Structure 1
């Protein structure tokens, strides 16, 4: 079976897991991503949170500025994906790190 990601993808996630706080995350992500990429990632998480709250696409679009295509993609992942959004949102809600 062909591996979906490379060993460098593993290294990326291992590097992220070494970060100790939000400030370190800002520093790392500002170095590795563009501001627009960071904004897009955070927007997707916000969309997932609003989908979890059963908000409509129109409400989510107005609140976040996300396109309906983005909302639809996040909804597909949120509903049928691997559970990553749900796990992260649940832990954020509980205040876990």
Structure 2
């Protein structure tokens, strides 16, 4: 699915959630929203996936990522598949995150 098509093809509730995230400018507000929105386990899973992204982009092997982060090799593989065959969301977020640092 092409990036521009994803918002149009998303379920209305997903598109609305995306708009809510996009409306938040302050990282503190985003954290507050995430804490309210997600269970601790869900938030941990999201954070784990995000922690894996820069390591995969750097070419770090799956097993090394697992050893460094404690994230399962299965999750590392899932994130890698999204990086290679997904909609580009991880790469877009990483570009903007890196540019803003």
Instruction: Give the TM interval when normalised to the shorter protein.
Output: 0.7 to 0.9
**Structure 1 segments of 4 or more deviating over 4 A?**
none
Question: Which of the residues 8, 14, 18 maps onto 1:13?
Answer: 18
Question: Which of the residues 18, 31, 35 maps onto 1:30?
Answer: 35
Give distance in 2, aligned partners of 1:4 and 1:33.
24
Note the aligned Cα RMSD (angstroms): 1.5
Please, what TM-score do these two structures have when normalized by structure 2? 0.84
Give distance in 2, aligned partners of 1:39 and 1:28.
14
Please, what TM-score do these two structures have when normalized by structure 1? 0.88
5+ residue gaps in structure 2?
Answer: 1-7
Question: Which of the residues 74, 82, 87 maps onto 2:87?
Answer: 82
Question: Which of the residues 49, 65, 68 maps onto 2:54?
Answer: 49
Q: What is the CA distance between 1:6 and its match in structure 2?
A: 2.2
5+ residue gaps in structure 1?
Answer: none
Give distance in 2, aligned partners of 1:39 and 1:49.
17
**Equivalent residue pairs, number:** 94
Greater relative contact order, per chain length (Cα 8 Å cut-off, separation 6+): 2
Q: Deviations over 1:30-55 (max 9, x none)?
A: 11101221111111111111000110
